């Protein structure tokens, strides 16, 4: 397990094997597109300097060996300032929160209706 900011990722052998399955590339890309759409919606409602930021979210897909991978990023020149903040303004963490929202929406509920 490694930690990147407040997001924890635990690698699971079954999950990494699943990334090699046929059709997984499209599933990974669809998940990245969902995150991008959610980030765009959050940016439109929350970013102070919307400008090109809300429209700057991009998805790239690739292979890491035989595993499907995808990334969401924003290429607007104000992206770092909006995401992480400045000395005088807190960051919005829009991309991180978009990923969390999509993950929460796709996470199956356990018995009793809670996680």
Asked if the structure places residue 90 within a domain, the reply is yes
According to the model, what pLDDT value does residue 3 have?
43
Q: Kindly give the parts of the chain with pLDDT less than 50.
A: 1-5, 114-115
pTM of structure: 0.75
Domain that holds residue 19: 2-106
Q: Does residue 50 belong to any structural domain of this protein?
A: yes
Domain count for the chain, please give it: 1
Tokens at 108, concatenated: 């199956």
Q: Determine the pLDDT at residue 56.
A: 92
pLDDT (0 to 100) of residue 41? 92
82 burial via Cβ count (<10 Å: 0-12, 13-18, 19+): buried
**pLDDT computed for residue 109 by the predictor:** 58
């Amino acid at each position: 397990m490694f930690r990147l900011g407040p997001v924890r990722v635990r690698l699971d052998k079954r999950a990494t094997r699943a990334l090699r399955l046929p059709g997984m590339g499209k599933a990974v890309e669809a998940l990245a597109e969902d995150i991008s759409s959610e980030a765009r919606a959050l940016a439109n409602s929350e970013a102070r300097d919307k400008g090109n930021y809300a429209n700057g979210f991009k998805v790239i897909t690739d292979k890491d060996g035989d595993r499907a991978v995808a990334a969401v990023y924003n290429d607007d020149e104000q992206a770092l300032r909006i995401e992480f903040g400045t000395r005088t303004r807190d960051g919005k963490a829009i991309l991180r929160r978009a990923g969390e929202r999509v993950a929460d929406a796709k996470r199956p509920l356990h018995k009793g209706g809670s996680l």
